[in-house]
C-alpha cells in the first residue's frame, strides 16, 4: 500500500509541478484535488501540498527577487501571517468529513470563478483590498494550502507588468508557504511520514517543472486551465456528496 501511495504522490507531484510551470500558479489547488483521497489525514494532505509549494516558490522568489514589488505585497503578507495560524489550528481540530465538505465547496467556487470571471473581475489596488485579500488567502492557505486565488486577484490589478506580477506573487507565496509549513510543524501536523511522502512527491514536482518548461511554448495553456478547472468541479462535487 505504501508503494502505491508513493507512486500516486509522484504522479500528483508531477501534475502539480507541471501546472505551476505552465500557468504560474495552481500547484496547491491541483495537489489538493487528489491528495485528500489517499493521504492518511486531511491535515497531512494540506501539509504535503504546502511543502510542494515551498520548493518551487522559494526558487522563483530568489530568482526574480529584483523584480518584486515588496511594498505592494506588504499588506497582503501581514494579513496572511495573522490568519494562517488560526486556519491551521482550525484545520487540525475538525473532522475529515467537515474538511472534505469545505474543501469541495472551495474547489467548486474557485473553479467557477476562474472559468467564468477570472479575466473580468478587477479590484482597486488599495491597502485595504490588499489586507482583505491577504487575510482570505491566509485562511485558504492555512486550511487547504490553496491560498493563491485571492493573491492572484489582487496583484493582477496592483502590479504594472507581468514580470513584476510574477515576481511579487512568488515572493508572497514563498513567505506564506514557509510560514504555513513552519506553523504546521509546530502544531505537530508534520511528522516523519509527512516528510517522507513530501520528499517522494517532490521528485514528481521537479520532473513536472522540467517537462513543463520544455514544452511550455507548444501548449495551449487556456485549454489546459479549462480542463483543470473542470476537474476541480468534479472533485469538489465528489467531496461534497
Summarised one tens digit per residue, pLDDT across range 4-38 is 888 999 999 999 888 877 766 678 888 888 898 88
Residue located via cell numbers 520544455: 214
Q: Distance between CA 237 and CA 53 in Å, rounded? A: 25
pTM: 0.81
Record the cell numbers describing residue 47, joined without a space: 501539509
Of 12, 15, 137, 149, residue with least CA distance to 81: 137
Mean pLDDT for 189-212 is: 89
pLDDT at 150: 84
Residue 216 in this model has a pLDDT that exceeds 70: no
Burial 52-67 (b: 16+ CB within 10 A, else e): bbbbbbbebbeebeeb
Summarised one tens digit per residue, pLDDT across range 117-174 is 766 667 788 889 899 989 988 988 888 887 777 888 888 788 888 788 888 988 999 9
DSSP-H helix ranges across 92-159: 96-116, 127-144, 148-158
Residues sharing a CB contact under 8 Å with residue 118, sequence separation 6 or more, in sequence order = none
Burial 90-111 (b: 16+ CB within 10 A, else e): ebbeeeeeebbbbbbebbbebb
Query: Under a CB-based contact definition with an 8 Å cutoff, are residues 13 and 203 in contact?
Result: yes
Per-residue CA distances from 102 to 99, 141, 171 (Å) = 5, 13, 27
Q: Which is more confidently placed, 80 or 167?
A: 80
Percent of the chain at pLDDT > 90 equals 25
Residue 212 in this model has a pLDDT that exceeds 60: yes
Q: Which is more confidently placed, 108 or 117?
A: 108
Mean pLDDT for 212-233 is: 71
Residue 42 in this model has a pLDDT that exceeds 70: yes
Most confident of 71-75, 145-149, 157-161, 237-241: 71-75
Record the cell numbers describing residue 90, joined without a space: 482550525
Amino acid at each position: 500500500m505504501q508503494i502505491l501511495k508513493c507512486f500516486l504522490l509522484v504522479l500528483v507531484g508531477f501534475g502539480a509541478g507541471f501546472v505551476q510551470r505552465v500557468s504560474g500558479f495552481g500547484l496547491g489547488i491541483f495537489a489538493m484535488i487528489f491528495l485528500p483521497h489517499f493521504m492518511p489525514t486531511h491535515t497531512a494532505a494540506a501539509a504535503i501540498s504546502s511543502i510542494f509549494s515551498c520548493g518551487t516558490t522559494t526558487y522563483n522568489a530568489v530568482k526574480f527577487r529584483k523584480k518584486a514589488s515588496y511594498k505592494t505585497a506588504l499588506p497582503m503578507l501581514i494579513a496572511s501571517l495573522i490568519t494562517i495560524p488560526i486556519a491551521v489550528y482550525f484545520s487540525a481540530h475538525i473532522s475529515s468529513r467537515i474538511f472534505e465538505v469545505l474543501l469541495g465547496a472551495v474547489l467548486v467556487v474557485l473553479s467557477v470563478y476562474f472559468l467564468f470571471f477570472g479575466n473580468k473581475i478587477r479590484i482597486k489596488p488599495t491597502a485595504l483590498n490588499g489586507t482583505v485579500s491577504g487575510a482570505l488567502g491566509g485562511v485558504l492557505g492555512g486550511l487547504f494550502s490553496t491560498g493563491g486565488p485571492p493573491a492572484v486577484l489582487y496583484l493582477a490589478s496592483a502590479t504594472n507588468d507581468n514580470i513584476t506580477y510574477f515576481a511579487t506573487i512568488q515572493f508572497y507565496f514563498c513567505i506564506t508557504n514557509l510560514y504555513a509549513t513552519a506553523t504546521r510543524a509546530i502544531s505537530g501536523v508534520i511528522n516523519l511520514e509527512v516528510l517522507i511522502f513530501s520528499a517522494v512527491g517532490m521528485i514528481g514536482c521537479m520532473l513536472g517543472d522540467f517537462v513543463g518548461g520544455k514544452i511550455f511554448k507548444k501548449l495551449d495553456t487556456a485549454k489546459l486551465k479549462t480542463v483543470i478547472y473542470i476537474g476541480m468541479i468534479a472533485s469538489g462535487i465528489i467531496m461534497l456528496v
